[in-house]
Amino acid sequence: MFVLVNLKAYPCDPVAVAEAARDVADESGARIAVAPQAAHLAAVADTGVETWAQHVSPVEHGSHTGSTLAEAVADAGAVGTLLNHSENRIKLADIDGSLVAADRPGLETVVCANNPDQAAAAAALGPDAVAVEPPELIGGDVSVASADPAIVEDSAAAVAAVDDDVDLFCGAGVSSGEDVSAAADLGASGVLLASGVAKADDPRAVLRDLVSGI
């Protein structure tokens, strides 16, 4: 199981969270990555934790003010990127363009989707993984694996039917080791979470619990 911690724009210390994630990954052998704000990518990567971007734009070098260039993300130390998060939705053509952009510097990619149909459409574009996250559960206290297990199972089947090489992750409300184990039982090979770690008083303890069942 892959644990990807999205720090969004929460007022947390990204380096402190990254150091906790690095240490828990080292002691447990689990794969844990942190996705900070773009301005913090280099500082997070310098901790040695696996570092991801929250987004890259469907652009090349050139006149693209305000865009997030995939090569710049990679130069800062990121090895992967999220795309199409529910809080930063983009058109299907732009998802495709961002996947092309991410491929140039060799970034791993996870495209977010709301439901099995969207998950299948995203899988057809050939990302490394698709993450199903029902928007109504994002930031809540109930994990998608508990609140709507069928959406995880159906998304796993939908993605596999399109492209067996694309992994299925899930997110929304994930905050404990039980949630991670439940997601694995439903066919997910990774989880996305944010507030459970970013807003925690003790991120290290939360991360230890998250990987306890892996």
What is the average pLDDT across 180-208?
92
pLDDT score, position 141: 66
pLDDT score, position 163: 97
What is the average pLDDT across 58-81?
98
- Separation CA 190–CA 121 (nearest Å): 19
Task: Indicate the annotated binding residues for substrate.
Answer: 6-8, 138, 173, 194-195
Out of 19, 50, 55, 85, the active site residue is: 85
User: How many other C-beta atoms lie within 10 A of the C-beta of residue 127?
Assistant: 27
Out of 61, 133, 153, 178, the active site residue is: 133
In terms of domains, do 100 and 16 share one?
yes
Q: Does residue 190 lie in a domain region?
A: no
Residue 154 pairs with which residues in a beta bridge?
none
pLDDT score, position 151: 86
Q: Does residue 191 lie in a domain region?
A: no
CATH number for the domain that contains residue 90:
3.20.20.70
Q: How many domains does the chain have?
A: 2
* 108 pLDDT above the threshold of 90: yes
Task: Indicate the annotated binding residues.
Answer: 6-8, 138, 173, 194-195
In terms of domains, do 28 and 121 share one?
no
- Separation CA 184–CA 161 (nearest Å): 19
**Tokens standing for 104?**
């140039």
- 133 catalytic per annotation: yes
Is residue 3 classed as helix, strand or coil in its secondary structure? Answer: strand
pTM for the model stands at 0.94
How does DSSP classify residue 108?
E
Query: Looking at beta carbons, which pairs linking 202-206 to residues 24 or more positions away fall under 8 Å?
Result: 203/12, 203/16, 203/17, 203/20, 203/21, 204/20, 204/23, 204/24, 206/175
In terms of domains, do 214 and 118 share one?
yes
Residue 192 pairs with which residues in a beta bridge?
4, 171
The whole-chain average pLDDT of the chain stands at 93
Q: Does residue 77 lie in a domain region?
A: yes
- 87 catalytic per annotation: no
In terms of domains, do 125 and 104 share one?
no
* pLDDT, tens digit (0-9, with 9 covering 90-100), for 128-146: 999 998 766 556 565 666 6
What is the average pLDDT across 101-126?
97
CA–chain centroid gap for 21, Å, is: 14
Top-confidence residue, 94 or 150? 94
